[in-house]
Structure 1
Amino acid sequence: MDGLLSLDPLDVPLEKNRPRGPPLTASGDCLNVLLLGATGVGKSTFINAFINYLTFDTLNNALHGEMQNLIYSTFSTSTEDDEETEIVVGVPDDTESTSNGNRGGSDTQSCRAYTISNGDRTVRLIDTPGIGDTRGFDQDVKNMKDVISYISNYMVLNGVCILLKPNEERLTPSLRYCIVELLAHLHKDVANNIIFCFTNARSTMFHAGATLNILKALLGEFQQISAIELSKDTIYYFDSEAFRFLACVKNGIKFSNNEQQIYDSSWRQSTTESIRLINHIRSLSPHLIEKTVSLNKVRDMLTRIELLLPSMSSVIEMEQTVNAAALFANFLAQHSIVVYHLGIEEYLEDQIKKTRTLPGAKHYRKQTIESLESSRESYSHQVSTYKKRCKAGNKSGVINVDDIRNMLHQLYALKENGKMLKEMMDEVEEGYRNVGNQEEVSYIVQMPPQRRTSDNRWQILFWVWYILQIIWSKYVK
């Protein structure tokens, strides 16, 4: 059981059939970057675009090179004759949903790592399922558990990129839920590694637009989030349309030179942002993933303990278990960015209202509403018991994993309920282990050295030199 909350960071080697990235160490030879975001924000497209931006410093070079297609996606565009055609990028596989009608891109169903390397620069991008899953709140819970389990295979996180759209006009219950729920699963020590990346930023001239004010207001609601800065170093803007332009050309769609020049400017901007992002992540102290994993396990253990308490007959053992719950609750309070938040209840209530107005079978609506109401009540109970345990067990001094481990051993020694408690805690660990040991399917993309000066720049330098020669010979001499 000592492995449940080990103080030593995990570094689990996986021998798989597909190639994986170089071994991860804490020395900084590989940057681990976790990508998080709402469903539909475009994480998969972002990865395809990001890799191509790092591969080619200009759109012209990309047009003459081999486009990198790591993730399957499709989108529609119009030809010169105004006929709609479908553009396909990459090859579909079982980790991407291709049958849900999402023509703007693929829906990631499980975590996957993509390792990009170029000389001394190696970056592992970890793609994740989106929060706000159309299959419901329970699927979001499962997805986030899968994410935490997946990253437990590594030792550190160098960056956590939260992807956002730049043109959000208001803080809807869904947007609030998506952002805060992502933060709720992270250890507070990762706050300095959190970065916000805006996709499709060309539409707002590479600015955050209204979303920035929404984000500022949201982060200001939580005391623990105050460590997350919104500055030039933590905000980045990318243009997915420039990558889509490249994909269109590679699929035989014709464009004018003027159109290419517009997208070339966006490409250069995105390339600059990509390099700036990597350099910033390099400068950060890495976050030990085991801290975040332990945090989520303790949260699950607290939930399990609360479920068992009503069935306990021994007053003494119930008191000891309540003390354990108080310890776990205060551990979460000390080490979480966000423990529990009202955004979930607000989001579930909003989903209930929307479901009531949906067309279709009444039986389906009734089942969906009952499930959402059950989730809302369960979460509300978790929040109230957490607050009660925190207040009752509030203590000075930092609670660490040693304190949690010692408390667990005391619980396992209980005469009547010790065995059941151990089985419950073993289930918590097993739940993470099963997902965390899934096959890693990362890839290595060997990128050619970037050309710092394009052919166009050499031509410009030549003509500048030529004109200066004429001026010198005609006027100076």
Structure 2
Amino acid sequence: MDVKKKIVNVLVLGETGVGKSTFINSFLNHTTYSKLEEATKHKLLYFIPPKFTLLNDDFNKTEIKIGSSSNEIDTPGESSTQYPVSYLFDINNKDVILRIIDTPGIGDTRGLQYDERNTENLLTFIGELDYLNCICILLKPNNSRLNVLFDYCIKHILLRLDKKIRTNIVFLFTNARSSFYTPGDTFTPLKVMLDEIKRNQDDDKIPLDSPNVFCVDNESFRYLAAKSSGVQFSQNDMELYSSSWDRSSTTYKRFIDYVASLPDIPMKGIVSVNESRRIVGRLAKPAVELMILQEKSLITLENHKKKLDEVRDNMTDLRNILYTPVIQYAIGKKTTSSVTKHTMNAGLQFSFLPPFVTVKLGYKYSNDTKLEDYVTAVETLVEDPKIKSLLDDETKAREAVKQQLQAIAELAQAYKQEARTILSAAAIFTNFLKENAILFGTDPLELYLKSLLEE
């Protein structure tokens, strides 16, 4: 390997079963041999152990299995590749080395939780790179409707990536001999999906045109694997696979030239967008729940104000309720049952904050953390000595009530200001994602608010 060559990093994405592993093995043989006949004279080349079933004219099965890998599972019906792996291709007569990164299939057969895990593993893996040059999305032609899970997962990944990679996305169609080496019916739903992404962005859409669309057929590699396992083929079969090889070789050369021309996209930006989205997602829930606590505080103040208005001429009742009910936030893991009212000498094992928690709320939060486990709304009765002394002179009782109502109004205004501060912070965070991510998606705060309304 020539260490002076530039390394071009290509991330491969695709639905489970689209043929990512076969594509990588086929690409290896196409970049090593010029003709299929030359490849048959040498030992089979592969990075990922091939495994598939052949049926003859009588529908008798022949299992083709060469080698093994701890990163590939053979269980029928389950996704094969388990973790991202990179493979280096030293391209002959080119000044580049392609690093192709294989990934677990989108739409893992074991469920969405595995897709989420696979996405995190993928982002962690590419986060170790200095830069990324290309995202290569593999599809099969002639799918008149894209799988809903594919649509979700592709967008799920694009949500986490810097928009600078948008123009470095290419689409490669496998098994394209059946569609005469065109995208076939898949082109229209794919274009619709990309147009939907464009409608949510101010920038140019992800390109889908002849320069960044590649159609190949990898059956010639399966032919090589079967032949190396002793399977016999007719002369007509050999000519058919040879023609497929030649057509795909031309496309692979164009693919190499195009990918090598793409600029480096620093991974620092891509990783920062992903981390920011994760933080925003985690902030959404506690932000909304804090606003709910503030709303409860405002209701408490309003109810107390009504009581003052009702008894402002009754000195006995006034002495009992002439205070400001302040909702303080106790921060810390709960060790006792919830407390709704308390005096300052009760000795709860919490660190109390003033009514305002915007910049001081510093507890650890994750997706499975419940805010109520860490934040307790504790109603504290705050008496003002100056107001209390006014009650000793009945002629000044009305002034006392007036001052108390003013204190309540000021506290209510402070709560409202804090709510505006929280919403402003959420707007800044989500605007950052809108400006920098390929796909903005749903505002996490909006999403959580909708779920609360549904509940």
* Bucket of the pairwise TM-score, normalised by the shorter protein: 0.5 to 0.7
- What is the CA-CA distance between 1:222 and the residue it aligns to? 2.0
1:40 to 17, 22, 25: 17
Residue deviations 1:195-233 (CA, integer Å, cap 9, x gap): 000011111111100100111111111223743111111
- What is the CA-CA distance between 1:67 and the residue it aligns to? 1.9
1:95 to 68, 71, 76: 71
For structure 1, the 5+ residue unaligned runs are: 1-20, 342-379, 388-477
1:110 aligned onto 2:83: yes
Distance (whole Å) between structure 2 residues aligned to residue 52 and residue 238 of structure 1: 14
Contact 1:92–1:98 (8 Å) recurs in 2: no
Contact 2:50–2:225 (8 Å) recurs in 1: no
Contact 1:166–1:210 (8 Å) recurs in 2: yes
Go from structure 1 to structure 2 and tell me whether the alpha carbon gap of 1:333 and 1:381 turns closer, same or farther (over 3 Å shift).
closer
Aligned to 1:252: 230
Aligned to 1:315: 356
Aligned to 1:285: 263
- What is the CA-CA distance between 1:385 and the residue it aligns to? 5.2
Higher RCO by CA contacts (8 Å cutoff, separation 6 or greater): 1
Distance (whole Å) between structure 2 residues aligned to residue 381 and residue 337 of structure 1: 16
2:221 to 220, 243, 246: 243
1:126 to 88, 101, 105: 101
Distance (whole Å) between structure 2 residues aligned to residue 211 and residue 66 of structure 1: 36
1:218 aligned onto 2:161: no
1:233 aligned onto 2:216: no
Please provide the CA RMSD for this pair. 2.5
Residue deviations 1:62-107 (CA, integer Å, cap 9, x gap): 1112221211231111357753110113x322211222445xxx61
Partner-residue secondary structure (3-state), 2:358: helix
Distance (whole Å) between structure 1 residues aligned to residue 446 and residue 254 of structure 2: 40
State TM-score, norm by structure 2. Answer: 0.66
Contact 1:36–1:127 (8 Å) recurs in 2: yes
- What is the CA-CA distance between 1:292 and the residue it aligns to? 1.2
State the aligned residue count: 322
> Residue type matched to 1:32 in 2?
N
Aligned to 1:455: none
Go from structure 1 to structure 2 and tell me whether the alpha carbon gap of 1:28 and 1:283 turns closer, same or farther (over 3 Å shift).
farther
Counterparts of residues 399-410 of structure 1 (less than 5 Å): none
Partner-residue secondary structure (3-state), 1:233: helix
Residue deviations 1:367-422 (CA, integer Å, cap 9, x gap): xxxxxxxxxxxxx96553599xxxxxxxxxxxxxxxxxxxxxxxxxxxxxxxxxxx
Residue deviations 1:337-396 (CA, integer Å, cap 9, x gap): 11225xxxxxxxxxxxxxxxxxxxxxxxxxxxxxxxxxxxxxx96553599xxxxxxxxx
- What is the CA-CA distance between 1:28 and the residue it aligns to? 6.9
For structure 2, the 5+ residue unaligned runs are: 294-328, 330-354, 360-417, 451-455
Distance (whole Å) between structure 1 residues aligned to residue 435 and residue 173 of structure 2: 30
1:78 aligned onto 2:51: no
Aligned to 1:324: 425
Counterparts of residues 52-63 of structure 1 (less than 5 Å): 52-63=29-40
- What is the CA-CA distance between 1:315 and the residue it aligns to? 2.9
Go from structure 1 to structure 2 and tell me whether the alpha carbon gap of 1:101 and 1:385 turns closer, same or farther (over 3 Å shift).
closer
Aligned to 2:178: 203
The structure with the larger Rg is: 2
Distance (whole Å) between structure 2 residues aligned to residue 324 and residue 22 of structure 1: 50
1:169 aligned onto 2:144: yes
Contact 2:195–2:205 (8 Å) recurs in 1: no
Aligned to 1:266: 244
Go from structure 1 to structure 2 and tell me whether the alpha carbon gap of 1:160 and 1:381 turns closer, same or farther (over 3 Å shift).
closer
State TM-score, norm by structure 1. Answer: 0.63
Go from structure 1 to structure 2 and tell me whether the alpha carbon gap of 1:287 and 1:78 turns closer, same or farther (over 3 Å shift).
same
